[in-house]
Each structure stands twice: as C-alpha cells, then as structure tokens.
Amino acid sequence: MRQPVSTISPELLQEWVCSAGEPDYRSQQILQWIHQSRAKGWVEMSNIPSKIQERLILEFTFSTLILQRKQGNAGMTQKFLWRLKDDQFVESVLIPASTSLYGETSDRFTLCVSTQVGCAYGCKFCASGLNGFKRNLEPAEIVDQVLSVERMQRGEGDRVITNLVIMGMGEPLANYTNLMHALNILNAKWSANIGARKITISTSGLAPQIRKLAKEPQQYRLAISLHGATDRVREQIMPINKKHPLSQLINAVEEYQSLKNGMVTLEYILIADLNDSPEQALALANIAERLRAKVNLIPYNEVDEFKWKRPTQTAQDAFIQNLEKFGAPTTLRREKGHDIDAACGQLRLRNEKELDAQRV
Ligand code: SF4
C-alpha cells in the first residue's frame, strides 16, 4: 500500500532515497518540494529525475484529500470540504487576519482544522455531531489540510497559514495520538514550521486528556468549549459534562495552566435564553478568573436541526457588558461566514443531503 508523502520523516525519506540508489540530498529536495515550495504534483519537482518521480508515484500518495467544494473568496473566510479516500468528508476553514480568533493581530491566516469524521460527543448545537462518529483522521489527513490550502494559496507569495486552531469537525483530544503526530510535523522546521504557541487545541472537556496534553513538551494553547458556566446549563447542550463535570474540567485546566501559564481560552457560544443570562455571565467570569483565562464569545450560528436561536444584538451587548463588569477579559468573534454555512459541520451536512437526494 502506498504511504502518504506528507508524513514521512526526513530520516525515513533519506533511507528510501538511499535504497533507490540516489544521493542523500535527494530527500532534502523532495521535502523542500512538498513542504516549502508547495508543489501541486510530482511533475513539478523539476530537479528530481523522472525515474525517481516514477518510483515516488508508485510508493507514495501525494495527498490524502480531494477538494470537493470550496466556499468564500480570497480575503474572506473560506471553507473547504475535502473528500477522503473512503468517500467521507471533512471541513477546514481559512480565516483572514482581520477576523483573527483571539483579537490578536496576525499578518496572515488562521486555518481551522478537523481531526475526526463526525463526532461522538453529540453537543446539542453542533452540526458536526449530528450523524455520529465515523472515524479518526489519520495524521496525513490532518497535515494535508494545511498543505492543500497552502498549495491553493501559492499565488499569494510566501506561506499564508501562520496559526492553526484544532477546532473543526471532531473532538481533537479523542484522536490524541494521530493529532500529536500531525502537530509534530506541522511544528517542524522542515515542514510548515508553525510554532506551538500559534497552535490552539480546542476540547469539549476531556479532562484526562487535558492532563496528558499538559505533560507534552510543546507549549500548545488550549481552548475549552465551555458554552455553559454551570453544570445545569452545560449539561443541557454538552453530554460530556455528565462524564466530566465542570469541577473536574476546571481542575484539569488548572493543572494545564500551572504548567503552560497563560495559554487558555474559554470558548462560549452565546445562545438565546439558554446561557446568556447575567447569572451565567457572573459564573463564567468566576471560572475565567480562577483559570486566568480569556473568554471568546461566539454568537450562535443557527442550525436547522436544533431549536436554539442566536441572541439579539442587544442581548449580546448586555452579556459582554456584564462580563466586563465582572472583570473577565473578553473578545467577541463575529463570524463573517453566515452565508457560507459558517457553523462547523454545516457544509458537510449540506453536501451529504445533496448526495442522498441524488441517490433517491
Ligand atoms: S462541539 Fe466539538 S465535541 Fe461537540 S459535537 Fe461538535 S465537534 Fe463534537
């Protein structure tokens, strides 16, 4: 079976090159084409002899992803729907600097990356979990989301993706081993060279895996999908809260915070008449203070299959004012992509509905 070229290590590639009777430097050239020059295919590798290109084609896959659909234009939020080898679909989202997720200026782009096909955690506001869990993504399917988008942006000049958020489809920490493998590659100088501090891993609250992540040598940022500041509210929309209630989650994040210092964000999707009360604002501010975390508010993007509504502008403003009054550092992420199925999993859901309709 062919192996993905995007996740082969420099050492193994060098062994392969030597076994093909080629000089050592050939492996550097191949890595350069894949990870730095953003080659769009084997034939672009002009300094690689054709007999080696032919062997590469026989033994390696160039990419594990095929672009099924793209929404949005350059300079705006863009969504990519990828078809995988088993005809499953996942999404990535490219977010320009002007909509930087945490209010920090970035001169380029953030890519939001998926880690699973579907999701087993069934949060009751999220399109990604609607059809359940299908499978974990392989390391190459995670790395290739970055490389594929980089290839498509090649005309822009230098590399464009400077930040990653591991927040697309799936629960990243439920695919821990493959995610760490992929991030080690994306973090490496010979690959995308994206610094660990530019990589945010988001979780719905898998407390044991947060503790494990705290012991990794890399200084990844951590984002917690909180979405409810008390167990009573959180349990209504996040079944994970029954297994790992807020007290457990907060203890695990405190441990992470003590080892990684200043690397935590609380994601809070603001949903009308569920979690937008002054009481929730106070409870959220207390958690943020305890964890020395920033709050990132996201007004809910409505999904047909769920009953929840986006709060009015007045209600959003009132919640922010309350958070500020209670001393919680807050940023508001106003999605720029309502017209492109902005909520995670919606593009895949729409694609699957269309494919089902064609089969009838
Ligand atoms: S919010 Fe995250 S953990 Fe919850 S169902 Fe969606 S993808 Fe899964």
Which residue among 171, 201, 249 has the greatest number of ligand 1 atoms within 8 angstroms of its CB, and so is best to mutate? 171
What's the pLDDT at 75?
A: 73
Distances in Å between the Cα of 230 and the Cα atoms of 25, 179, 262, 277, 345 are 57, 30, 23, 12, 26
Which residue among 121, 173, 227 has the greatest number of ligand 1 atoms within 8 angstroms of its CB, and so is best to mutate? 121
Instruction: Kindly give the number of the ligand 1 atom that is closest to the alpha carbon of 169.
Output: 7
Measured in degrees and rounded to the nearest 5, phi and psi for residue 295 equal -105, 130
237 lines ligand 1 (CB under 6 A): no
Distance CA(217)–CA(22), nearest Å, equals: 35
What's the pLDDT at 27?
A: 97
Instruction: Kindly give the number of the ligand 1 atom that is closest to the alpha carbon of 119.
Output: 8
The helix (H) or strand (E) run that includes residue 59 is helix 50-59
168 lines ligand 1 (CB under 6 A): no
- Told to judge if 119 belongs to the known catalytic residues of this protein, a careful annotator would answer no
Paired sense of beta strands 264-270 and 109-112, if any: unpaired
pTM: 0.92
Q: Do residues 293 and 287 lie in contact, with contact meaning Cβ atoms separated by under 8 Å? A: yes
Instruction: Kindly give the number of the ligand 1 atom that is closest to the alpha carbon of 126.
Output: 6
- Please tell me the distance between residue 188's alpha carbon and the centre of ligand 1 in angstroms: 28
Length of the chain: 360
**Which DSSP symbol is given to 301?**
P
If we measure between CA atoms, which residue out of 92, 65, 91, 139 comes closest to residue 352?
Answer: 91
Distance CA(166)–CA(181), nearest Å, equals: 13
Catalytic, out of 91, 138, 150, 171: 91
Residue with the smallest CA separation from ligand 1 atom 7 is 170
Amino acid at position 249, single letter? L
- Told to judge if 344 belongs to the known catalytic residues of this protein, a careful annotator would answer yes
204 lines ligand 1 (CB under 6 A): yes
Residue with the smallest CA separation from ligand 1 atom 4 is 123
What's the pLDDT at 272?
A: 97
225 lines ligand 1 (CB under 6 A): yes
What's the pLDDT at 143?
A: 98
Q: Do residues 41 and 63 lie in contact, with contact meaning Cβ atoms separated by under 8 Å? A: no
- Please tell me the distance between residue 141's alpha carbon and the centre of ligand 1 in angstroms: 19
What's the pLDDT at 105?
A: 44
**Which residue is it, tokens 């080629």?**
22
With a CB cutoff of 8 Å and minimum separation 6, the contacts of 360 are none
- Please tell me the distance between residue 122's alpha carbon and the centre of ligand 1 in angstroms: 6
29 lines ligand 1 (CB under 6 A): no
Query: What is the chain's pLDDT, residue by residue, as a tens digit (360 residues)?
Result: 899 999 999 999 999 999 999 999 999 999 999 999 999 999 999 999 999 999 999 999 999 999 999 998 877 889 999 999 999 999 999 988 755 444 444 457 899 999 999 999 999 999 888 889 999 999 999 999 999 999 988 765 667 899 999 999 999 999 999 999 999 999 999 999 999 999 999 999 999 999 999 999 999 999 999 999 999 999 999 999 999 999 999 999 999 999 998 779 999 999 999 999 999 999 999 999 999 999 999 999 888 889 999 999 999 999 999 999 999 999 987 654 344 444 566 667 767 767 666 665
